[in-house]
Amino acid sequence: MHIQKHKVVRCPSCGKEVPFENNPYRPFCSRGCKGVDLIHWADESYRIHKNEHDGEDPEDGK
């Protein structure tokens, strides 16, 4: 008897668990969640915030 395990991932938009294989919207659960993610990228909602102290040398005391 061979038991096959299916890979399950969480949708990055809503957190719902969905199968990874045979999912046309992977890693998202639906076309809607995929669209929401695209909107966030387009309006630049996803950003890496820069720390005000980035790039300063701690030994310079600046």
pLDDT at 59: 63
The sign of the CA dihedral 20, 24, 25, 31 is: negative
The mean per-residue pLDDT over the stretch 2-13 comes to 84
H or E stretch at 38: helix 31-42
Asked if pLDDT for residue 53 goes beyond 60, the answer is: yes
pLDDT at 3: 64
